[in-house]
Structure 1
Amino acid sequence: MPTSAAFAFRNYTFTNVEINMGDFSESSALDLSFSPSGIYDKSTKTFSLRFVFTASQGDENKTIVKIVCLATFEFNEPLDIDAIPDYFYPNSLAIVFPYVRAFVSSVTLQANMVAPILIPTLNLTRLQSSLKANTISR
């Protein structure tokens, strides 16, 4: 009999989309950044991942595109925050990243940008410590 996973991906939604084409310059490269944080609710066994993507540009680091994705994961059993397995953090990011990547491309294409933002396939394991450090319990 197969064992069930320690956690399951339940859903995601994009809660904020900000596009500032007035600040965009074709001659300047975009700086892409990702900022993850989380809220774990032991009573409901849910983990809410907030994954923020930002594309900025120029010396003043003006935000061109900012997208916020909220994803919900559910654990099989209530855990203390310290008992969340270490593998959860990189895996949760890896699960959500393709949705963010596709949405950024789609929304910047629909905004009729000169060229849509195409985020390359990335290894996000460096973000796991940031996610863990920016996770709180309710």
Structure 2
Amino acid sequence: MEAPPKCALKFSNYIVKHIEFILNEVPEKDEKIRLNVNIDTEIRYNKNEPNKFITIIKITAGEKKDFAKSPVYLSVEVWGFFEVIEEAIDKVRQFAEINSVAILFPYVRALISTITANANIPPVILPPINVAGMMANIEEVKEENTEKQETEAYE
């Protein structure tokens, strides 16, 4: 019997690098907290071991300086450690980047819900996201900003 194929992407571990929580105004128990949420992702490759990389998800929610707009401010940064099988590095890099964010995001969602629930306020529950769509939008914005910077530099 043939052995099953190896999975191209391995999730090794994650760590929480940063948590910041500020409660300005205690919301009512049945009040839903509505926050502007910003999600940023970053991929860092290991120079010595190109099949290993770190996926970083940074999320900020609420307004830090203008509490009239938001009863809560929170910021989290979570690092996930991943590995791609060496024989598939070139073929699966983009696939691995998108899927590593998809794998790590539920941990970040749970962290945010836990922080707010343990603060004894209505928990902030981030909705599931379409990671592939989000990553495509991020790339479009980066390309637009790069084109804009190049245009401004040469005008």
TM-score (norm 2): 0.69
Specify which of 102, 106, 112 is matched with residue 104 of structure 1.
Answer: 112
- Structure 1 gap ranges (5+): 134-138
Cross-structure match for 2:61: 55
- Structure 2 gap ranges (5+): 143-155
Higher helix share: 2
Higher relative contact order (CA 8 A, sep 6+): 1
The one-letter amino acid paired with 1:122 is I
- Tell me the alpha carbon deviations over residues 82-102 of structure 1, each in whole angstroms, 9 at most, x when there is no partner: 665322122111101111111
Per the TM alignment, residue 32 of structure 1 is displaced from its structure 2 partner at its CA by 1.2
Higher strand share: 1
The count of corresponding residues between Structure 1 and Structure 2 is 129
TM-score (norm 1): 0.77
Q: How does 1:1-138 map to 2 (within 5 A)?
A: 1-22=3-24, 24=25, 26=27, 29-44=34-49, 45-57=51-63, 60=66, 64-77=73-86, 84-113=92-121, 115-129=122-136, 130=138
RMSD of aligned Cα (Å):
2.9
Q: What secondary structure does 1:96 align onto? A: helix
Larger Rg: 2
